Amino acid sequence: MNCAMSIEMILVGRYYYMFACFVKAPFYVWFLILMMTSTAYLLIAFYFVTIIQNKTQAFTVNFGVVLCSMVANIILCEPTTIKKVFFNLDMPVWVSMSTNFFYLNPCFQFGKLFGDITNLLCAHFDPLNMNWVQQDHIWETKDLFY
């Protein structure tokens, strides 16, 4: 089911809606990102179902995790926000400690990867110059390690 939903999301984004991020990046990159993120959420759900005795409470906790992930992703959806807040070298020590906490949440990883890919391949807003920057970059495998 996980594979089928990942493949469906990529195919719909690429062929039906023609999203630039899906068209310009290869299939395997998006499949790995979507598959790993959804698998991580499944593992979190299995963990809570295992340690919590009551099924209703486990579903409530899992729903809370997904809801918190969605809110965090909405707040951190802009790639420059993630870079300026979490990966700024001039931030205090408590920010780096909280960054380690955010790494436990799959949406943070997904948001960072999605932001990096769309920033590299798609048109994006440059807050320094206050204009949109059009990208004509062609995907290369070395971009995975950029």
Report pLDDT for 85. Answer: 79
Report pLDDT for 92. Answer: 86
Report pLDDT for 12. Answer: 96
Q: What is the pLDDT along the chain (146 residues), one digit of tens a residue?
A: 889 999 999 999 999 999 999 999 999 999 999 999 999 999 999 999 999 989 899 999 999 999 988 888 887 777 777 777 777 888 888 887 888 888 888 888 888 888 888 888 888 888 788 898 888 888 888 887 76
* Domain boundary assignment for the chain: 2-145
Q: Answer for the pair 128, 31: CB distance below 8 angstroms, yes or no.
A: no
Give the total residue count for the chain: 146
Torsion, CA 4, CA 17, CA 33, CA 101, rounded to 10: -120
Helix (H, G, I), strand (E, B) or coil at 56: helix
| pTM (global) more than 0.95 | no
Report pLDDT for 146. Answer: 65
Report pLDDT for 90. Answer: 84
Strands (E), 37-146: 124-126, 131-133
